[in-house]
Amino acid sequence: MPLTANAAHAPRKHRYYDLLVAAFVTVLLCSNLIGAGKAAQIELPYLGTVVFGAGVLFFPISYLFGDILTEVYGYAHDRRAVWCGFAALLFAAIMSLIVVNLPPAPGQYNSHLQEGLESVFGNTWRIIAGSIIAFWSGSLTNSFVLAKMKILTNGKYLWTRTIGSTAVGELVDSSLFYFLAFYAIWPTQQIISVAITQYFLKTGWEVLATPLTYRIVGFLKRKEHEDYFDRRTNFNPFKVKV
């Protein structure tokens, strides 16, 4: 079966798409709820002390998924995956709000546990809100740029699309997330420092991951018999239908 050359073919089932969406949602939840709330620091040669959000070590994987989904299946399939991730984040926010505000049972253990839950998840609503706005804007910008660049390059030079789209998408994401999630909680100078560091770390992560992206994209295109070009795609970011 030949690879598809345009968007004019009928929708069909894909073997790996659902697995990729599930993995994407898992990475999105964990990187936002576990890693985003911690500002870490390391000492680097020549650069000195570098402060960064701990989630930056794992969050870029979600952009890797976005690149793969758009490159193989098209913008609409990645858009659906993004909305699945946001639905999961919204549920996590509602659940954390309920759990944190339920009165704890008597006892020293439960008292300490409540303090820990409030410390870790008490700010979850802001993290979720910041993530929804920043990641929705950044990831769909990433997907849009990659889809358009694929047409301009006629499907050649994958590395230019993955790196170029990530650089633009992460700029949008990094410009929004930390201010929305941590303004008036962290010192403003720390927010700016973390946001800038996050941008360069995430973009650099994408550059390093390029060989892996090539392997995964090549594997999926062969197995799925799919190489989607978004020539007739409706890029409305609010649509969910593929």
- The CATH number of the structural domain formed by 17-224 is 1.10.1760
pLDDT for the residue 36: 61
pLDDT tens for each residue of 45-54: 877 887 766 7
Q: How far apart are the first and last CA of the chain?
A: 22
Per-residue confidence band for 5, with pLDDT thresholds at 50, 70 and 90: very low
41 DSSP β-pair partners: 51
**What does pLDDT average to over the chain?**
86
pLDDT for the residue 212: 94
pLDDT for the residue 1: 44
Of all residues in the chain, the percent with pLDDT exceeding 90 is: 41
Segment 19-37 shows an average pLDDT of 85
Q: Which residues contact 131 (CB under 8 A, 6 or more apart)?
A: 32, 36, 89, 177, 181
Assess contact for 145 and 176: CB atoms under 8 A.
no
Segment 21-43 shows an average pLDDT of 82
**Local structure of 41: helix, strand or coil:** strand
Which of 227, 174, 166 minimizes the C-alpha distance to 197?
174
Q: How many helices (H) and strands (E) does the chain have?
A: 8, 2
Which of 93, 186, 79 minimizes the C-alpha distance to 135?
79
Tell me how long the chain is: 242
Q: What is the dihedral of CA 143, 149, 151, 153, to 10 degrees?
A: -150
Model pTM score: 0.83
Compute the distance between CA of residue 193 and CA of residue 47 in angstroms, rounded to an integer. Answer: 13
53 DSSP β-pair partners: 39
pLDDT tens for each residue of 99-140: 888 999 999 898 888 888 887 777 667 777 887 788 889 999
Q: Is the pLDDT of residue 209 over 80?
A: yes
Which of 163, 160, 135 minimizes the C-alpha distance to 150?
160
- Locate tokens 């970011």: which residue? 237
pLDDT for the residue 2: 47
Compute the distance between CA of residue 191 and CA of residue 81 in angstroms, rounded to an integer. Answer: 29
pLDDT for the residue 8: 47
Of the candidate ranges 29-38, 97-106, 187-196, 212-221, the one whose mean pLDDT is the lowest: 29-38
Alpha helices in 74-187 (DSSP H): 75-101, 108-121, 124-152, 158-182
Q: Is the pLDDT of residue 220 over 70?
A: yes
pLDDT tens for each residue of 80-102: 999 999 899 888 888 888 888 89
Assess contact for 52 and 35: CB atoms under 8 A.
no
List % helix, strand, coil for the chain (3-state, nearest 5). 70, 5, 25
Compute the distance between CA of residue 166 and CA of residue 66 in angstroms, rounded to an integer. Answer: 9
pLDDT tens for each residue of 156-193: 999 999 999 999 998 998 889 888 878 888 888 888 88
